[in-house]
Structure 1
Amino acid sequence: MNAGGVRTLGRHQAELPLSLAAKAMWLEIADLLGDNCGFRAVGGIRIAETESDLQKVRERSGAISALGLGYAERVIDSRELFERLPALARHCVGGLFVHDDGYANPYRTTLAFRRAAERAGAKFEEGTVVESALFKENGWTVTARDGTSYRAQTLLNCAGAWGHRMAAILGDDLPLSPNGSMMIITARMPPMVVPVVGAAGRSLSFKQFPNGTVLLGGGHRAPVDLDTNEAKVDPLALGKAASTVIDLFPFMAEAQAVRFWSGIEGFMPDGIPVIGASLNAPQAYHAFGFSAHGFQLGPAVGQVLADLVTKGTSRIPIEAFSPSRPFFSIAA
């Protein structure tokens, strides 16, 4: 299960049109699916701990405003920061704020989308490993490891951390790196934090739920095995995450971790996903490599794929995600 962040704050600029389209869908998710998916628009804050951090968030805010998307990441001073986060350590000097970011329940969301798809006629085959995919004039034949064959006119590769493997079957060499993203959940604590909180200068993802439990993440990675579908937990990295949280929220020194785990995620060198037509296979499309921030984008990505399949084009700009783009690494 992932952290369930529903955020526009801090995204790569190329993702913002897609993210804003997704935000509009999240704000009406109950109407779309018949389930609100546990979505809460509690706001999102990125903390600036130093004057250097504060300068970075000011520059970020200005760059976002200059895009002309009708979207803002507002700089807040220390007074407003502590009003919104009274439990925050007093060395912090400001931050960025987006009022309608938030989070949802990933498990509940997945089930809600599945039920909606099934109502529309979709069928799900679980535990199915694809061995081959062959295109002929009448469409695709996909063969699973157990010998079962599936036929369709169009193939969508949404295989997550395994996306590069499916891409290779289609003849596309795409540079995904699988990694684990670790998280910690605590026992119930006094209610202290409402917004989703990140930090400008170090890795942090902090959510406190209405029942008092706290979910901690922040991009600390761990080894994974794609063949066994296993992800390991790195205690040293988790300790670093816990130390960051206590530095920023001293009350968390009393927290008791009740569970920690790692999922399996696919990371692209430039930190943004691959979305678009296969380079070498007809009637096939990719959507993977979301690099640990794809949950919020999901509804809009579904709309993009539907448009590509039915109309051959997307109403949302996706050129930046092309499988043919040059891939360059960015700082974590």
Structure 2
Amino acid sequence: MRRARAADVVIAGGGLHGLSAAIHLANAKLRVVLLEKDRVGRHASSANAGGVRRLGRAIPEIPLAVAALDLWHNIENLVDDNCGFQQSSQIKVAEDLVEFAALEQRSKTLRDAGYFHEEIIDGNMLHQLLPQVAKHCVGSMVVRGDGHADPFATVKAFHSKAISLGVEVREGAPVTQITRAEGNWLVQADTTCFEAPILINAAGAWGGEIAAMMGDLIPIEAQALMLMITERIAPFLSSVVGAQGRALSFKQFDNGTVLIGGAYKGHVDIRTGRTALNMKQLAANAHAAITVFPLMRNVRVIRAWTGIEGVTKDRLPIIGPASEKGGFHLFGFSAHGFALSPLSGRIIADLICSNQNNWPTEAFSHARFTA
């Protein structure tokens, strides 16, 4: 029988969270093997809208989003690349007074919790800030200092940095079996078995399968979330815009193209990793964009695509130790994990290297599902 290859840490999953963990652990001089069944960043990591936001976060996520934003403003210190990060306002518009009241209540809830980054502005200020927004919009919530980055450039930078630090990245190497032997994890991937005292499950939409191999039953749903991009039009927007009453993520790039999303679902086969567009849902997404920005009515869509995301029941991620010693989970970010990726790997690395956690992650324990 061929002897297992030794490592300090094995990571299952080569999306941004797995790569982030690999970078932080390699910086701590650990020998890291990262196993990716397809290619790094193939799914949600490179196929998302690239939002870096505090706006609209669930309260348990806000401390992480704040800390991660600081890392984004200095992302070159982590991965030697700016990842296309740009600072911009994040805005959520209200189309009627009921929606505006909901935004005001949300703002009050955050202030009561000690957070003051979400600002309420009335209709006059909104139309000064967004001259092309629909006339019926009555106000909005604004967060200044958030931003967005380029997902493809970010994946490339994280991958390159991990390689430069000596991380062994294996693509086309799906994990097929996980067992325990003398306190170590034995991880079978393709034709090779790896042995390590530490195993990190960063498998995204496939995180539930890896968790089950590790002894934890964690429910997660695979969703194929769609995005589309338009032809180039004259610049009219520098902020990232969403809506309180409808699913929408909307921004314009420097080249004039407009990215439109909002977590509208396509079709997915999790067994094969294949996806297909849902044209009715794309039409609904386009209608949302036109309703909030009427100037988009005659703009052509030139491309649309999907990314496979793992979504938990409460739409909060799984971050922290597994049930078995030496195991860790880092998945289930439910379509809002891109912004957290520089920090998520650091959280796991701190737990591994010093058994310390400087961030409140109790709400992200897998025990909320497996207890």
Q: TM class, shorter-chain normalised?
A: over 0.9
Q: Is residue 179–residue 213 contact of structure 2 (8 Å, CA) maintained in 1?
A: no
1:330 corresponds in structure 2 to none
Match of 1:282 among 325, 329, 337: 325
1:106 and 2:151 equivalent?
A: yes
Match of 2:285 among 241, 254, 257: 241
Match of 2:84 among 30, 38, 63: 38
SS of corresponding position for 2:111: helix
CA deviations over 1:78-109 (Å, ceiling 9, x no partner): 11111111100000000110111111001111
**Aligned-pair CA distance for 1:326:** 4.5
**Aligned-pair CA distance for 1:136:** 2.0
1:250 and 2:277 equivalent?
A: no
SS of corresponding position for 2:271: coil
**Aligned-pair CA distance for 1:253:** 0.7
Task: Give, in whole Å, the separation in 1 of the partners of 2:258 and 2:50.
Answer: 13
Match of 1:67 among 113, 133, 136: 113
After superposition, where does 1:120-159 map in structure 2 within 5 Å? 120-137=165-182, 139-144=184-189, 146-159=190-203
Higher relative contact order (CA 8 A, sep 6+): 2
1:212 corresponds in structure 2 to 256
The ranges of structure 1 where at least 4 consecutive aligned residues each deviate by more than 3 angstroms after the TM superposition are none
SS of corresponding position for 1:143: strand
Match of 1:267 among 290, 311, 334: 311
**Aligned-pair CA distance for 1:32:** 2.4
Task: Give, in whole Å, the separation in 2 of the partners of 1:320 and 1:209.
Answer: 35
Count of aligned pairs: 324
2:53 corresponds in structure 1 to 7
Q: Is residue 218–residue 369 contact of structure 2 (8 Å, CA) maintained in 1?
A: no
SS of corresponding position for 1:124: strand
- Structure 2 counterpart of 1:230, one-letter code: R
Which stretches in structure 1 are left out of the alignment for 5+ residues?
328-332
Q: In angstroms, what is the RMSD of aligned CA positions?
A: 1.2
1:292 corresponds in structure 2 to 335
- Structure 2 counterpart of 1:313, one-letter code: Q
**Aligned-pair CA distance for 1:34:** 1.7
1:52 and 2:93 equivalent?
A: no
Task: Give, in whole Å, the separation in 1 of the partners of 2:217 and 2:176.
Answer: 17
Task: Give, in whole Å, the separation in 1 of the partners of 2:96 and 2:57.
Answer: 21
**Aligned-pair CA distance for 1:178:** 0.5
SS of corresponding position for 1:88: coil
SS of corresponding position for 2:169: coil
After superposition, where does 1:305-320 map in structure 2 within 5 Å? 305-320=348-363
The two structures have a TM-score, normalised by structure 1, of: 0.95
Task: Give, in whole Å, the separation in 2 of the partners of 1:271 and 1:300.
Answer: 18
- Structure 2 counterpart of 1:255, one-letter code: V
Match of 1:203 among 232, 244, 247: 247
